[in-house]
Amino acid sequence: MRQGLPGTARSMREFVDRLARQSPARLALGVFGSVIAVFTALLSTSFATASGERAPFVDALFTATSAVCVTGLVTVPTGTYWSAAGQVVILVAIKVGGLGVMTLASLLGMAVSRRIGLTQRLLVSSETKMTRLGEVGSLVRVVIVTSTLFEVAIALVLIPRFHALDESWGQATWHGVFYAISAFNNAGFIPTAYGLTPYGSDWLILLPIIIGVFVGSLGFPVILDVMRRVRSPRRWNLHSKLTLVASGSLVAFGTVLVAAFEWNNVKTFAPLDWPGTILASLFAGVMPRSGGFSTVDINDMHQSTWLLNDALMFVGGGSASTAGGIKVTTLAVMLLAILAEARGDKDVEAFGRRIPREALQVAIAVSLVSATFILAACLVLLAVTDWTLDVVLFEVISAFATCGLSTGVTADLPDTGKYVLVFMMFIGRTGTMTFAAALALRSRRRVIRLPEERPIIG
Does 138 have pLDDT greater than 60? no
- Find out whether 223 and 214 touch, Cβ atoms under 8 Å: no
Mean pLDDT of the chain: 85
Q: How far apart are CA 94 and CA 69, in angstroms?
A: 7
Report residue 430's pLDDT band, with 50, 70 and 90 as the boundaries: confident
Closest CA to 178 of 149, 160, 158, 194: 158
Q: Residue 136 has what pLDDT? A: 54
Confidence grade of residue 320 (pLDDT, cut at 50, 70, 90): confident
- Bridge partners of 353, per DSSP, are 350
Query: For position 21, what pLDDT does the model report?
Result: 54
Cα-based torsion angle of the residue sequence 323, 326, 331, 333 in order, rounded to the nearest 10 degrees? 110
DSSP 353: E
Measured between alpha carbons, how far is 46 from 43 in angstroms, rounded to an integer?
A: 8
- DSSP H stretches of helix in 300-446: 303-315, 328-343, 357-384, 389-400, 415-441
Beta-carbon contacts of 376 under 8 Å, excluding residues fewer than 6 positions away, are: none
Rounded mean pLDDT of 309-325? 90
Comparing 99-108, 153-162, 180-189, which segment has the lowest mean pLDDT?
Answer: 99-108
> For residue range 67-124, what is the model confidence (pLDDT) as tens digits?
999 999 999 999 999 999 999 999 999 998 887 655 654 554 444 444 455 555 555 5
Q: What are the structural domain ranges in the chain?
A: 4-441
DSSP single-letter state for residue 288: G
Which of residues 454 and 201 earns the better pLDDT score?
201
Give the lowest-confidence range in 15-19, 149-153, 222-226, 330-334: 15-19
Say how far apart CA 243 and CA 245 lie, in whole Å: 6
pLDDT tens-digit series, residues 271-301: 999 999 999 999 999 999 889 999 999 999 9
**Phi, psi dihedral angles at 353 (to 5 degrees):** -130, 150
Percentage with pLDDT > 70 across the chain = 80
The candidate with the shortest Cα–Cα distance to 90, out of 192, 169, 196, 187, is 187
Residue 362: the pLDDT is: 83
pLDDT score of 319: 82
Amino acid at 169: W
The per-residue pLDDT for 440 is 53
Per-residue pLDDT band at 159 (split at 50, 70, 90): very high
CA distance 325 to 247: 13
Largest Cα separation within the chain, whole Å, is: 74
pTM of the predicted structure, to 2 decimals: 0.87
Q: Which residues contact 168 (CB under 8 A, 6 or more apart)?
A: none
Q: What is the DSSP string of 216-279?
A: HHH-HHHHHHHHHTTT-GGGS-HHHHHHHHHHHHHHHHHHHHHHHHHTT-TTTTTTS-HHHHHH
Identify the sign of the CA torsion 59, 63, 69, 73: positive
| Beta-carbon-side half-sphere exposure of residue 55 (alpha carbons within 13 Å) | 28
127, 135, 291, 430, 449 from 215: Cα distances, Å: 18, 20, 11, 20, 45
Helix (H) or strand (E) holding 348: strand 348-350
